[in-house]
């Protein structure tokens, strides 16, 4: 974090250690420069001057070699009364000028930084001066002093004060006290080598704390002695934390100085010296700003959460690891930062879960952070994430043979779960949970169910105000009808998980051994239970409407079974026991099939008139068209085979069961009933004829039952009694009703389809041996004459609603066809040469499967045709979609890219969405050939693509720059380039790589409209780009944020930035005018306006270098009411995020903002603003009365006062400040219809704390209000 311009950038690791009270500042001479004191070298010069002598040759040589301690040792030996004379000269030389501006500021800052959250001070200095005393007096910071050699043990329980490691110059020096100062090489030898009291202190200090050196140069002899002592301990196997040091350097010396510091075992924090008298002012200003920030709690863990909650996790420079800071804060065992995250409004993006929270970035050394003791021997294979990690022993489930349970959550995990249920309308959450959980944790299941119940209750009761408030704080909290269905399946454990281990093979082995038992019967029900497998949907390029109207817009789903490989396990390994068990399991199979169809109905894929069984299992009877592509149809096969086994042994009972199937409201069971009726001797013919005549012949003509009806006519038609035959022929002659066909079918086409259906039904009856009636025979003859090409298919393909084939049949154009693609290259080429006709848009084939399983064969087949000039656009699109799948993209890159390079521009333009999505996916992997990749990106950018995406929501243009950018080919390419760039371990001032720099520069060209999508995404990475290449960013990207140059372009740039906003001080200075100007364009910011109000408020709370309160005041004056409502909410959240420093934060940040910046207008006194100000006042804790006084005139009664009164009750302020608490209640409680349940305990606490207060009029009014609402 860089606190001031040109100051050192303090690493997150050090900031975090400091927040955890693990840092000790080790202070050298440099901190006293502002008080007019010099470093060791300058001090030696002054001592010689005070001693009225000059260097001799030996002393000069030591001095020139930077051996200042040895120089003074030689001087002591040379002078008469040398030891006394040198020390008296030292006392005269060390005279700080405390009247200089800022003379004690650095010392005061270090006194603040050195004090832990519990109040203990831990500072070490090798200086002799008493500037710390002066700073303590000026800032009223009292502390203890420890002077060498009387040093404390450097442990938390034994140390509270400033340690003067080399002694402290007394106010009135005596010979004895001066002799105790460690200044010469002889003194250092005693302290560090002979008596070793200093070495012991330093060794223990480095073992127990993270040491940060301030005010030392890399060549300082004092530093050398300390690091030598540390090196000796390390040689003995001691493990110490990383030591840090602030170090100055000139531009260009960074590498050299870094190497010099690291050679001493210290990590440097470098800063550039500046021209002028105080060349180290960057360091001193940084320490002062850091102390103020620390004092106010603005880098505390809760504050970090508040600052970054609006952002999305994204890559940045090594120095700007804000994701790491957030995870560090959230992992605090108290759970308070995690709670702040869970309650933040608006709810933080789910991308935190999908990315940072799920990353396995923790290792063996991190176990202690999560309360898990680590073994001395590190486990190199151990890695874990924030949301899947080892459990502390007090929360772990006990090891047990029976009665096991899941482990308990810690506070952090519970708060993360609370945040997750604010995203129940986001399918990505469901996909993440189903991919990682074998069984949902009972507490998470409860939270999900509770949230579903709450939102349903509010919707049923018409609580629009509450629902609007919920949507505002959590836009994805209220699941739509489709998502509710999915969550219902998830809670019922009907979403398949890859973690659930069910072993059907073991079941089959037990069946062989024991035969069918009750326990095996019950277990089989579980093993064969239908479940839903879900995955992320692939949006086609032509899908421009983003509103979810179908379940497949949310997730790609498929009905499967709990167990895998069911068919091969039960059938291919069949045995006698299975044959014996099969007829006994009919009820189980029927119930499981009903469950499967119920699930499909829940998912909107099945109704009483049509289901997908005819598609997944074309024939109930055995037929080679049943390819077994869908596992769930095994249930149909099992039920069929079980029924046939029963029919052979117990025909009457089996017929009764089959008769009941026709009454079950799913076509699948109708198909089974017709199949049963086609068995010899099963049903009387007049019964199944009645089934065919139901609802004017619905099932006679239904596409769902087509195969089984035709089989029935062929196999049993000849047994029709005359009356039943006449009834059936009459219905057949009428033909299928028009509603069976698409609405826009032409009359001619409709009549042709009816004639063909009538002909085929009559022909099937005749084929079965039935002598048709006169009218039926006449009609058959007429139709045969009109359509002489009509023939019954020898392979029965005309009985199927679709036909899996590689070649056409006589009635090929009248069927849905599944074309089976071969997998060998030569055969594929021939297959691809025969594309489906245009009117067969509803047909399917297995091309995608071949592309997935045989990448090279499918690619080279396409390539062979491409070399002939045949670029099959549709096939390339489908192939690229498959090759864009995770794990496939990297493998496909080297083989596919030459063909994409060879594509004609016309073809590339047609497949561009699929190509750029593929490039985006490739960029996420470790691939070779960056130059080729950049060339592909450049070629895409050069295509004359339409800048408009045409995206709509409910038929209206979405007008959302970010959403359009991430769905446009230029946006895909830009994201791919960003992915590549961000994988290179970014560091500040690295500069952009030349190839990527050129492409980014082209994307910033305003003259090319389609590049706007790229600029939006570049704006979303503004901070990272600025830190890596400030010069390029200032020249190319920052101008797009100017409303004066182009309001349209500025809106896009700001929406891109606000997609994941953060504050970075140097950047805020770089586009200061545009940042302030944006306040006046709040209503132009679209869906990201709330984010701007929040970060603008945080910036104004500063203090922010380069900005004045007056500038912020003028900017806030331009805010509309909606923006100020968001700003007031941000004030409340900022106050709550200050943690233990809330009182200081109120005094130093909120109050100045309120007094100097917040607009003062009666028009702004609204209930919404009042609610936020109430939260802010309560959060001020000890400053509650002062905060209430400041905002009192802005408080008005609010309709929804329950949360504020609940907060007041929980805070304990009613007892601590009864008068102020009553004043607040009187201001916000009027005569609301709904009484807060926390009002009574608040009033009771107030009266108990101060009995006389119950006589006040406002107290009586509130008591009367409770009585009127039935609470005496």
Q: How confident is the model at residue 535 (pLDDT cuts 50, 70, 90)?
A: confident
Residue 550's pLDDT is 80
Condensed to tens digits (0 to 9), the pLDDT of residues 590-635 reads: 999 999 999 999 998 888 888 888 888 999 999 988 887 788 999 9
Supply the Cα-derived Rg of the chain in whole angstroms: 40
Residue 408's pLDDT is 87
**CATH class assigned to 12-34+100-283:** alpha beta
In 3D, which of 924, 1039, 1066 has the Cα closest to residue 981?
924
| Token representation of residue 145 | 């002093």
Buried b (16+ CB within 10 A) or exposed e, 372-392: beeeeeeeeebebebbebbbb
pLDDT at 270 over 70: yes
In angstroms, the CA 377 to CA 386 distance is 23
**Mean pLDDT for the stretch of residues 637-647:** 95
Residue 236's pLDDT is 66
pLDDT at 1034 over 80: yes
Condensed to tens digits (0 to 9), the pLDDT of residues 862-893 reads: 999 999 999 999 999 999 999 998 889 999 99
3-state secondary structure of 560: strand
**Regarding predicted confidence, which is higher, 962 or 406?**
962
Instruction: Calculate the alpha carbon distances from 255 to 227, 251, 259, 270 in Å.
Output: 21, 10, 6, 10
In angstroms, the CA 603 to CA 497 distance is 18
Residue 845's pLDDT is 81
Residue 1272's pLDDT is 62
Angle of the 1167-1179 helix axis to the 1184-1191 helix axis, nearest 10? 160
Q: In this prediction, what percent of the chain has a pLDDT beyond 70?
A: 95
In 3D, which of 611, 588, 589 has the Cα closest to residue 670?
611
Q: How confident is the model at residue 403 (pLDDT cuts 50, 70, 90)?
A: low
**Mean pLDDT for the stretch of residues 510-520:** 90
| Token representation of residue 965 | 């950018």
Condensed to tens digits (0 to 9), the pLDDT of residues 73-123 reads: 999 999 988 888 998 898 888 889 999 988 999 999 999 999 988 889 999
Contact, 562 vs 529, CB < 8 A? yes
Residues 6+ apart with CB under 8 A from 295: 112, 1141, 1144, 1148
Residue 804's pLDDT is 73
In angstroms, the CA 1028 to CA 446 distance is 46
- Mean pLDDT estimate for the chain: 89
Q: How confident is the model at residue 759 (pLDDT cuts 50, 70, 90)?
A: very high
Residue 812's pLDDT is 35
Maximum mean pLDDT: which of 277-281, 535-539, 1049-1053:
1049-1053
In 3D, which of 379, 445, 369, 382 has the Cα closest to residue 412?
369
pLDDT at 263 over 70: yes
Contact, 447 vs 419, CB < 8 A? no
In DSSP terms, which residues pair with 531 in a beta bridge?
560
Condensed to tens digits (0 to 9), the pLDDT of residues 457-490 reads: 999 999 888 899 899 999 999 999 999 999 999 9
Instruction: Calculate the alpha carbon distances from 243 to 211, 269, 272, 375, 1034 in Å.
Output: 5, 11, 21, 24, 36
**Mean pLDDT for the stretch of residues 294-304:** 79
* DSSP for residue 957: E
pLDDT at 199 over 60: yes
Residue 810's pLDDT is 34
Q: How confident is the model at residue 1199 (pLDDT cuts 50, 70, 90)?
A: confident
Buried b (16+ CB within 10 A) or exposed e, 1069-1086: ebbeebbbbbbebbeebb
* DSSP for residue 1137: T
Q: Is the pTM for the entire model greater than 0.85?
A: no
Q: 367: number of CA atoms within 13 Å, CB side?
A: 17
Domain assignments of the chain as residue spans, ordered by start:
12-34+100-283, 38-93, 296-368+386-394, 424-500, 501-537+551-651, 684-820, 821-836+843-941
**Which single residue is written with the structure tokens 């895909």?**
972
pLDDT at 541 over 50: no
Residue 842's pLDDT is 42
pLDDT at 1212 over 50: yes
Q: How confident is the model at residue 843 (pLDDT cuts 50, 70, 90)?
A: low
């Amino acid at each position: 974090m860089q606190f001031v311009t040109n100051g050192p950038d303090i690493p997150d690791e050090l900031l975090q250690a400091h927040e955890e009270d693990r840092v000790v500042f080790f202070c050298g001479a440099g901190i006293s420069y502002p008080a007019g004191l010099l470093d060791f070298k300058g001090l030696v010069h002054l001592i010689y001057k005070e001693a009225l002598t000059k260097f001799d040759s030996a002393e000069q040589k030591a001095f020139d070699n930077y051996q200042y301690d040895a120089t003074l040792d030689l001087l002591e030996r040379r002078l008469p009364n040398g030891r006394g004379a040198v020390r008296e000269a030292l006392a005269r030389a060390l005279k700080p000028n405390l009247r200089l501006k800022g003379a004690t500021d650095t010392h005061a800052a270090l006194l603040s930084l050195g004090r832990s959250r519990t109040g203990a001070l831990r500072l070490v200095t090798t200086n002799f001066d008493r500037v710390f005393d002066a700073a303590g007096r000026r800032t009223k910071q009292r502390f203890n002093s420890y002077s060498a050699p009387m040093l404390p043990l450097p442990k938390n329980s034994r140390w509270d004060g400033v340690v003067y490691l080399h002694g402290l110059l007394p106010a009135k020096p005596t010979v004895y006290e001066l002799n105790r100062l460690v200044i010469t090489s002889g003194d250092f030898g005693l302290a560090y080598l002979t008596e070793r009291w200093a070495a012991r202190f330093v060794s223990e200090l480095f073992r127990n704390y993270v040491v940060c050196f301030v005010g030392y140069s890399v060549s300082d002899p004092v530093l050398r002695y300390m690091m030598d002592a540390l090196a000796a301990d390390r040689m003995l196997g001691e493990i110490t934390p990383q030591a840090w040091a602030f170090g100055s350097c000139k531009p260009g010396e960074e590498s050299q100085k870094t190497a010099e510091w690291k050679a001493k075992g210290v990590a440097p924090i470098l800063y550039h010296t500046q021209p002028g008298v105080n060349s180290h002012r960057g360091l001193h200003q940084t320490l002062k700003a850091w102390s103020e920030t620390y004092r106010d709690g603005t880098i505390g863990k809760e504050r970090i959460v508040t600052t970054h909650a609006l952002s999305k996790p994204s890559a940045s420079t090594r120095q700007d690891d804000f994701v790491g800071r957030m995870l560090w804060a959230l992992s605090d065992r108290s759970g308070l930062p995690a709670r702040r995250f869970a309650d933040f409004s608006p709810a933080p993006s789910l991308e935190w879960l999908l990315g940072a929270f799920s990353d396995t970035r923790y290792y063996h050394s991190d176990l202690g952070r999560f309360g898990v003791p680590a073994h001395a021997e590190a486990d190199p294979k151990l890695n874990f994430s924030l949301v899947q990690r080892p459990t502390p022993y007090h929360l772990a489930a006990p090891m047990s043979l029976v009665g096991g349970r899941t482990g308990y959550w810690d506070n952090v995990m519970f708060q993360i779960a609370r945040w997750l249920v604010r995203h129940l309308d986001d399918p990505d959450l469901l996909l993440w949970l189903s991919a990682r959980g074998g069984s949902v944790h009972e507490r998470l299941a409860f939270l999900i169910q509770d949230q579903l119940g709450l939102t349903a209750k509010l919707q049923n009761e018409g609580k629009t105000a509450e629902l609007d408030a919920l949507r505002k704080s959590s836009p994805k909290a209220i699941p739509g009808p489709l998502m509710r269905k999915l969550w219902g399946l998830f809670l019922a454990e009907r979403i398949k998980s890859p973690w659930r281990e069910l072993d059907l093979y073991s079941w089959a082995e037990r069946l062989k051994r024991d035969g069918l038992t009750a326990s095996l019967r019950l277990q089989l029900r579980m093993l064969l239970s239908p479940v839903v497998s879900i995955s992320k949907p692939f949006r086609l390029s032509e899908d421009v409407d983003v509103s979810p109207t179908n379940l497949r817009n949310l997730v790609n789903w498929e009905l499967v079974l709990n167990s895998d490989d069911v068919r091969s396990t039960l059938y291919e390994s069949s045995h006698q026991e299975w044959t014996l068990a099969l007829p006994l399991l009919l009820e189980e199979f029927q119930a499981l099939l009903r469950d499967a169809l119920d699930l499909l109905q829940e998912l909107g894929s099945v109704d009483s008139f049509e289901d997908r069984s005819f598609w997944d299992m074309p024939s109930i009877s055995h037929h080679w068209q049943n390819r077994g592509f869908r596992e769930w149809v095994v249930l149909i096969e099992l039920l069929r085979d079980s029924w046939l086994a029963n029919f052979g042994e117990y025909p009457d009972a089996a017929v009764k069961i089959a008769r009941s199937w026709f009454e079950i409201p799913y076509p699948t069971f109708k198909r089974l009933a017709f199949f049963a009726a086609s068995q010899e001797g099963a049903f009387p013919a007049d019964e199944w004829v009645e089934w065919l005549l139901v609802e004017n012949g619905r099932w006679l003509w239904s596409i769902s039952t087509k195969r089984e009806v035709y089989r029935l006519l062929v196999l049993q038609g000849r047994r029709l009694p005359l009356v039943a035959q006449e009834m059936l022929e009459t219905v057949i002659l009428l033909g299928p009703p028009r509603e069976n066909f698409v609405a826009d079918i032409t009359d001619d086409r409709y009549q042709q389809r009816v004639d063909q259906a009538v002909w085929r039904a009559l022909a099937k009856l005749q084929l079965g041996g039935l002598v048709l009636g006169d009218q039926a025979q006449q009609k058959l003859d007429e139709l045969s004459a009109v359509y002489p090409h009509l023939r019954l298919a020898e392979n029965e393909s005309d009985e199927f609603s679709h036909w899996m084939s590689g070649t056409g049949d006589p009635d090929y154009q009248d069927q849905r066809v599944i074309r089976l693609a071969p997998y060998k290259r030569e055969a594929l080429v021939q297959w691809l040469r025969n594309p489906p006709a245009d009117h067969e848009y509803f047909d399917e084939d297995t091309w995608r499967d071949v592309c997935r399983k045989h990448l090279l064969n499918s690619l080279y087949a396409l390539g062979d045709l491409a070399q002939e000039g045949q670029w099959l656009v549709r096939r390339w699109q489908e192939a690229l979609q498959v090759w864009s799948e995770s794990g496939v993209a990297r493998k496909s890159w080297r083989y596919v890219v030459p063909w994409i390079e060879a594509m004609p521009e016309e073809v590339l333009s047609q497949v561009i969405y699929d190509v750029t999505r593929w490039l985006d996916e490739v960029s996420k992997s470790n691939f070779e050939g960056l130059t080729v990749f950049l060339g592909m990106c450049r070629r895409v950018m050069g295509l004359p693509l339409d800048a408009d995406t045409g995206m709509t929501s409910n038929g209206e243009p979405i007008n959302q720059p970010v959403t359009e950018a991430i769905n446009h080919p230029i946006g895909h390419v830009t994201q791919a380039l960003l992915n590549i760039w961000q994988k290179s371990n970014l560091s500040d001032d690295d500069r952009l790589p030349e190839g990527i720099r050129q492409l980014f520069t082209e994307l910033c060209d305003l003259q090319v409209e389609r590049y706007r999508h790229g600029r939006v995404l570049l704006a979303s990475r503004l901070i990272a780009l600025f830190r890596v290449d400030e010069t390029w960013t200032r020249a190319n990207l920052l101008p797009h944020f100017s409303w004066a140059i182009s309001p349209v372009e500025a809106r896009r740039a700001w929406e891109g930035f606000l997609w994941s906003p953060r504050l970075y001080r140097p950047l805020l200075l770089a586009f200061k005018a545009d940042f302030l100007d944006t306040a006046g364009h709040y209503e132009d910011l679209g869906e990201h306006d709330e984010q701007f109000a929040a970060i603008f408020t945080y910036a104004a709370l500063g203090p922010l270098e380069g900005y004045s309160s007056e500038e912020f005041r003028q900017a806030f004056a331009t805010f509309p009411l909606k923006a100020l409502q968001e700003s007031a909410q941000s004030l409340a959240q900022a106050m709550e995020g200050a943690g233990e420093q809330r009182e200081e934060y109120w005094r130093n940040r909120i109050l100045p903002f309120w007094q100097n910046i917040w607009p003062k207008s009666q028009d702004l006194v609204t209930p919404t603003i009042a609610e936020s100000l109430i939260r802010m006042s309560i959060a001020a804790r000890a400053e509650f009365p002062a905060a209430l006084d400041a905002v009192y005139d802005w408080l008005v009664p609010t309709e929804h006062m329950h949360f504020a009164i609940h907060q007041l009750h929980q805070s304990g302020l009613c007892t601590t400040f009864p008068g102020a608490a009553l004043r607040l209640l009187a201001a916000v409680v009027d005569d609301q219809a709904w009484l807060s349940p926390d009002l009574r305990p608040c009033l009771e606490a107030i009266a108990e704390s101060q009995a006389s207060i119950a006589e006040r009029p406002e107290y009586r009014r509130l008591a009367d209000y409770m009585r009127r609402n039935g609470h005496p």
